[in-house]
Amino acid sequence: GAGVSQSPSNKVTEKGKDVELRCDPISGHTALYWYRQRLGQGLEFLIYFQGNSAPDKSGLPSDRFSAERTGESVSTLTIQRTQQEDSAVYLCASSLGWSRTPGAETQYFGPGTRLLVL
């Protein structure tokens, strides 16, 4: 079946501009996660959506970062007034979520969006 998809795959922007990154999770997955990966580094948690619950925004690095999710489908991550330190790969993952099914917490990642802020 289709995996997690993300768009665009690459984005180059100028400092100060806003960018929107999109994630399409696996169908039926109630949980969706955004992570940031700086060059040569591990993944850094940003935000987590679970069904209709309030999202866990504890990983967002500043108020320039925000994310939305419509129901249990597409999510967009928005970075306002981009800075050079925002340059990174932004990864989205989804999982079955609250289900007691074995493996419900397993997160499947998309290919990422490579963001370069000049």
Partner 1 sequence: GENVEQHPSTLSVQEGDSAVIKCTYSDSASNYFPWYKQELGKGPQLIIDIRSNVGEKKDQRIAVTLNKTAKHFSLHITETQPEDSAVYFCAASMGGGSQGNLIFGKGTKLSVKP
Minimum CB distance to partner 1, residue 17 (Å) = 24
Minimum CB distance to partner 1, residue 101 (Å) = 11
Q: Which is nearer to partner 1, 15 or 60 (CB)?
A: 60
Minimum CB distance to partner 1, residue 16 (Å) = 28
Q: Which is nearer to partner 1, 79 or 97 (CB)?
A: 97
Q: What is the Cα–Cα distance from 31 to 81, expressed in whole angstroms?
A: 28
Residues at the contact surface with partner 1, assessed by CB under 8 A:
4, 31, 33, 35, 41-45, 48, 50, 56, 59, 91, 95, 97-98, 104-112
